[in-house]
Structure 1
């Protein structure tokens, strides 16, 4: 992500400028060292400016995570649109997009799902958008069940299983726990495909 131009923001865009600066900060060193003054300095605004939109550090991190979920959901939706209507092809594309997002945004993904800095329930907008990805998966599962392509059962439980696999693979990859496979040419794409395909075999109706 490009650094925000210190003169690029205008009235009404300060919040987004601070969020972009915060994402940049997190991408370099994680959320542990972030604070409003540092983000203000990175964005090129006064130390007091962030308090117009964020009560404290946690509120800023909540906004950063909210933007992260929006970006991830957009990537997932695009991946779905670019495939045919087969639920298995959609899940395969979704899994690939999920892993690629994590590979390109490791620190952001860690913070989005850690639960150590903030509690999502305390921030309604964040909590709402964090559920969007679950709904995207469950919609595909439900469609597959209606057509008899996917096994019967609780769509919610199957969605939990699918998300667990996608997220687990993504985290293991960004934490370098799948070497030496991921060190090979195309290794990340290969192991992602193996994980997804193995899961899909068990989901067929």
Structure 2
């Protein structure tokens, strides 16, 4: 059995994941994880030579979970626009339900550091496929919208996907911090449920980057 599939390695990631979800990534340390896993303080370094390597392994668990949610979200919608809307909702829900993990997952400044083991897996290997998937949906959405003829010149799909992702990520953070609910309430738009308000915001984000759904 290799180290990569070691039950102890998986146990350490399990413990680290629980710590991130309950106490945030700042609480995750090799010694604390070893203590909670009931192993010696030096045991985690057999699999994770640095703190960043452990955090990256934990974050990849988050990406696996998010990818599974995306797959479930697109099981029903037929159109690309419907699938992108469903994925956007899943993204926001994940951000609000698993805040500690969500905040960790996109810290490439921390998790892709040069101090990781040479040749080891980097977090970008989990992040980039999601962005490529979003870009593919953008291409399909444009195709659906312009079926009757070519539309105006637009940014490359990857640029639109990145802008859309940035918008959704900001939406998730501002909602989690209470800023968006406060702003909407102050504008007299707080009459709907939280989920209904978020759905309105998601629809506005997609309209801003892809254009409104043709009537």
TM-score (ref. length: structure 1): 0.82
Aligned twin of 1:189: 195
Q: What secondary structure is seen at the aligned counterpart in 2 of 1:102? A: helix
Q: What secondary structure is seen at the aligned counterpart in 2 of 1:81? A: coil
Q: In the aligned structure 2, how far is the partner of 1:112 from the partner of 1:173?
A: 18
Report the Cα offset of residue 105 of structure 1.
0.6
Q: In the aligned structure 2, how far is the partner of 1:132 from the partner of 1:110?
A: 19
- CA pair 29-191 structure 1, distance change in 2 beyond 3 A: same
Larger Rg: 2
- Does residue 1:16 correspond to 2:13, yes or no? no
- CA pair 187-43 structure 1, distance change in 2 beyond 3 A: farther
Q: In the aligned structure 2, how far is the partner of 1:141 from the partner of 1:81?
A: 18
- More deviation, 51-60/37-46: 37-46
Query: Out of 107, 111, 118, which is 1:114 matched to?
Result: 107
Structure 2 residues without counterparts, runs of 5 or longer: none
Query: Out of 65, 75, 80, which is 1:81 matched to?
Result: 75
Report the Cα offset of residue 46 of structure 1.
2.6
Query: Out of 54, 64, 84, which is 1:60 matched to?
Result: 54
Report the Cα offset of residue 75 of structure 1.
0.9
Report the Cα offset of residue 125 of structure 1.
3.7
1:154-173 equivalences in 2 (<5 Å): 154-173=156-175
Aligned twin of 2:95: 102
Q: In the aligned structure 1, how far is the partner of 2:8 from the partner of 2:164?
A: 38
Aligned twin of 1:141: 138
- CA pair 103-116 structure 1, distance change in 2 beyond 3 A: same
Q: In the aligned structure 1, how far is the partner of 2:84 from the partner of 2:159?
A: 16
Aligned twin of 2:129: 132
**Equivalences, count:** 193
Contact 1:165–1:195 (Cα < 8 Å) also in 2: no
Q: CA RMSD in A?
A: 2.6
Report the Cα offset of residue 120 of structure 1.
6.1
Q: In the aligned structure 1, how far is the partner of 2:89 from the partner of 2:43?
A: 39
Q: Deviations over 1:97-148 (max 9, x none)?
A: 0011111110111111234533368664421111121111111111223344
